[in-house]
Amino acid sequence: MGLLYLERCEFQMTQELILANATLILAGETRTGALRIVDGVIADISEGAAVPAGAQDLGGDFLAPGLIELHTDNLERHIEPRPGVDWPHAAAIIAHDAELASTGITTVFDAMRCGSIPSGKKGGYKKYARQLASEMLELRGKDMLKISHFLHLRAEVCSETLAEELSEFTEQDRVGLVSLMDHTPGQRQFRDISKLEQYVKSKRGMSDAEFIDHVARLKDLRAQYGDLHEAATVAEAARFGAVLASHDDTTAAQVAVSAGYGIRLAEFPTTAEAARACHDHGIAVMMGAPNLIRGGSHSGNVAAQELAELELLDIVSSDYIPAALLQAAVKLGEIWGDLARGIATVTAAPARAVGLTDRGEIALGKRADLLRFGLGEGTPMPRAVYSRGQRVA
């Protein structure tokens, strides 16, 4: 009885945290100041280097909104750390969650592929998204995860099972994003088939004959199911209340089709022409951080830096390297001569694209999802990460 009473009291007690003498990265500017966080929400923002009693002195370190990641393959990497290795899923999800937290990511849309090819052998894909999503949501329900998770269903139209896999998800599954993908050889990401050949031969150990067979099979699948799968994806995204994204748009004509579907977010357009068409249609352009850091795309498509210089890049995703997200935002800050603008591509801009109004900037009433970092010779060093005011890394 006494213990129960104490627990209730503790639960009702106000939790306060003051982070002072920070270089705050606000909308459009950086400024020295302090944040007061009450019950996980930003309650006050003040200017100056003063460190009040009870506050933490950040010693001038940057304090940014927690990063928002819309498209990461990182969970898949933890589930299958080597080809054919199925790591215990709960452990993999927890490791993935902790890894993202350590890089400053406080909100993630975990990408999972829907649309498998069970009849393919080396070129096949097994169905996994529904089960993995349930496992992730269960851990989240038990409060076992550090950061905020949503689902990003990658709807692969060049597959055998897309429509039935999507039908297994509901409005309660936190599906925040559905991306319409078409990886049929000879177009979009794989316009240059030699890049696909390099990728699948090294990853799946295909021979020349197997590769020719694989390409023919995928083209058949597209012809057989493509239109049906595309229509199902548009309808199912609306049923989930999810934002619909396009993927690897290459031509202005493809972007016009995307716009007709109500798409407002384009993942990794492969040409400047497509990125420009996106802006003409009011579609936000997202590019991969590894592309920006490496100075080009591994599939030979347009360089993210080129789009940044053309003012055609709005959002960055870490894609397959979580730590690259902060690195890329800092690099964009250098390219544009405006750190706050660089950071906005991984905070405010992704929040806006997926309709999350409670986070993405340091402002009164927003979630206290925060990232403290320093810079060592231009390389960002995450020093502390908070989710709703609780330290998670």
Residues 255 and 281 sit within 8 Å (Cβ to Cβ): yes
Least Cβ distance, residue 259 to Fe ion (angstroms): 19
The residue among 197 and 248 lying less far from Fe ion, judged by its C-beta, is 248
The residue among 189 and 347 lying less far from Fe ion, judged by its C-beta, is 189
318 binds Fe ion (CB under 5 A): no
Least Cβ distance, residue 246 to Fe ion (angstroms): 11
Residue ranges of alpha helices (H) inside 89-178 are: 89-102, 129-141, 162-167
Contact region with Fe ion (CB under 5 A), list: 29-37, 122-130, 184-192, 238-246: 184-192
Least Cβ distance, residue 248 to Fe ion (angstroms): 5
Q: For residue 108, what are the CA distances in angstroms to 69, 176, 316? A: 5, 10, 13
The residue among 178 and 392 lying less far from Fe ion, judged by its C-beta, is 178
How many residues bind Fe ion (CB under 5 A)? The answer is 2
Contact region with Fe ion (CB under 5 A), list: 12-20, 87-95, 183-191, 352-360: 183-191
- Nearest CA-CA partner of 268 in 289, 283, 247, 240: 247
Q: Which two tokens stand for residue 296?
A: 């080009």
Contact region with Fe ion (CB under 5 A), list: 72-80, 219-227, 245-253, 287-295: 245-253
Least Cβ distance, residue 267 to Fe ion (angstroms): 8
Spell out the residues 6+ positions from residue 249 whose beta carbon is closer than 8 angstroms to its own. Answer: 188, 255, 258, 266, 269, 270, 274, 277, 278
Least Cβ distance, residue 113 to Fe ion (angstroms): 11
SS3 content of the chain, % helix, strand, coil (to 5): 40, 25, 35
Q: Which two tokens stand for residue 71?
A: 């498209």
Q: Is 85 exposed, middle or buried (0-12, 13-18, 19+ CB in 10 A)?
A: exposed
Residue ranges of alpha helices (H) inside 27-84 are: 74-79
The residue among 184 and 189 lying less far from Fe ion, judged by its C-beta, is 189
Least Cβ distance, residue 154 to Fe ion (angstroms): 9
Least Cβ distance, residue 189 to Fe ion (angstroms): 4
The residue among 189 and 258 lying less far from Fe ion, judged by its C-beta, is 189
76 binds Fe ion (CB under 5 A): no
Residues forming beta bridges with residue 45, ordered by sequence position = 35
The residue among 286 and 349 lying less far from Fe ion, judged by its C-beta, is 286
Q: Which two tokens stand for residue 359?
A: 């986070």
The residue among 247 and 264 lying less far from Fe ion, judged by its C-beta, is 247
The residue among 64 and 180 lying less far from Fe ion, judged by its C-beta, is 180
Report CA dihedral (333, 359, 285, 300) to the nearest 10 degrees: 70
Least Cβ distance, residue 158 to Fe ion (angstroms): 11
Amino acid at site 250:
T
Least Cβ distance, residue 245 to Fe ion (angstroms): 11
Among 23, 72, 159, 189, binds Fe ion (CB under 5 A): 189
How far is it, in rounded angstroms, from Cα 60 to Cα 73? 34
248 binds Fe ion (CB under 5 A): yes
How many H-runs (helices) and E-runs (strands) does the chain carry? 14, 16
Residue ranges of alpha helices (H) inside 281-323 are: 289-294, 304-309
Q: Which of residues 21-40 bind Fe ion (CB under 5 A)?
A: none
Contact region with Fe ion (CB under 5 A), list: 2-10, 119-127, 232-240, 248-256: 248-256
Residues forming beta bridges with residue 114, ordered by sequence position = 155
Residues 317 and 289 sit within 8 Å (Cβ to Cβ): yes
The residue number whose beta carbon is nearest to Fe ion equals 189
Which residues form the interface with Fe ion (CB under 5 A)?
189, 248
